């Protein structure tokens, strides 16, 4: 379960204040797939980073499966991210000098699993995304669609119960976007919470519910 309670975030930069999140409340259960839509700059990315334990809110709390993310140590927060959260970004955010396989495996830094187990899991995900033959390639050698599939495999590596996807299809053609959206659907069907940020109708149609966001606030559509 993901629960945001009165989450507020204000950016302060050179005297200017940007109210990116204004007392946001959100509660999502396992298996829910929601799309968050809204104009650029309304606070969508801020919402995902805050929900994912990467950005401490000014007020309010974020709870994942009973753990209040910002009331635990940063090490524990990192552990929650690793075990429970999978991020997918519009810009893919792959590490340029690591191979496809190593990029997927980068989600396992510091985990206790055996390397062979991790590798097996990574290989099977790459196979699932038809990327096995490119596992030794660098991100620079991949098309955007392929990059996002690798990023998707990385997000899924540790069997997350929460997927936070920030405009994952924003840079993709329809075919490649469908691969990602289909995969998000599958994850939700298998019991994960999926939060998809998008401003694309086609993408939001894949979700069960669509939430509108405007100027830092959520409103159900």
Ligand X SMILES: Nc1ncnc2c1ncn2[C@@H]1O[C@H](COP(=O)(O)OP(=O)(O)O)[C@@H](O)[C@H]1O
Closest contact distance (angstroms) between CB of 97 and ligand X is: 26
Q: Which is nearer to other proteins, 46 or 183 (CB)?
A: 46
Interacting residue with other proteins among 68, 97, 143, 186 (CB under 8 A): 97
Residues forming the site for ligand X (CB under 6 A): 11, 13, 18, 20, 38, 40-46
From the list 6, 115, 136, 186, which residue makes contact with other proteins (rule: CB under 8 A)?
115
96 touches, from ligand X, other proteins, Mg ion, none (C-beta below 5 to 8 Å by class):
other proteins
Q: Which is nearer to ligand X, 41 or 191 (CB)?
A: 41
- C-alpha span between 126 and 156 (Å, rounded): 11
Residue 219, H or E segment: strand 217-220
Contacts 24+ apart (CB under 8 A), 104-108: 104/150, 104/153, 104/154, 104/157, 105/157, 106/154, 107/82, 107/154, 107/155, 107/157, 107/158, 108/157, 108/158
Structure tokens at 59: 């007020």
Tell me how far apart the alpha carbons of residues 36 and 195 are, in angstroms, rounded to a whole number: 7
What does 147 interact with, of other proteins, Mg ion, ligand X, none (CB < 5 to 8 A by kind)? none
User: What does the binding site for other proteins look like in residue numbers (CB under 8 A)?
Assistant: 45-46, 49, 52, 54-55, 74-75, 78-83, 85, 87, 89-91, 93-98, 102, 105-110, 115, 118, 154-155, 158
């Amino acid at each position: 379960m993901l629960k945001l309670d009165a989450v507020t975030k204000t950016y302060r930069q050179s005297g200017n204040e940007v109210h990116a999140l204004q007392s946001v409340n959100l509660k999502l259960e396992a298996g829910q797939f929601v799309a968050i839509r809204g104009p650029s700059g309304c606070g969508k990315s801020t919402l995902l980073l805050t929900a994912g334990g990467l950005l401490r809110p000014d007020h309010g709390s974020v709870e994942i499966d009973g753990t209040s993310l910002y009331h635990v140590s940063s090490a524990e927060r990192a552990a929650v991210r690793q075990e429970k959260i999978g991020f997918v970004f519009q810009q893919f955010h792959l590490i340029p000098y690591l191979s496809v396989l190593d990029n997927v495996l980068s989600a396992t830094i510091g985990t206790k699993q055996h390397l062979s187990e991790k590798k097996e899991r990574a290989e099977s995900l790459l196979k699932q995304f038809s990327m096995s033959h490119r596992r030794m390639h660098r991100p620079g050698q991949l098309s955007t669609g392929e990059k996002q599939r690798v990023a998707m495999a990385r997000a899924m590596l540790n069997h997350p119960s929460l997927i936070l996807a920030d405009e994952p299809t924003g840079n993709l053609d329809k075919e490649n976007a469908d691969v990602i959206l289909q995969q998000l659907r599958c994850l939700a069907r298998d019991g994960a919470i999926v939060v998809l940020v998008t401003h694309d109708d086609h993408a939001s149609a894949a979700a069960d519910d669509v939430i509108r966001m405007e100027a830092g606030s959520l409103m159900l559509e």
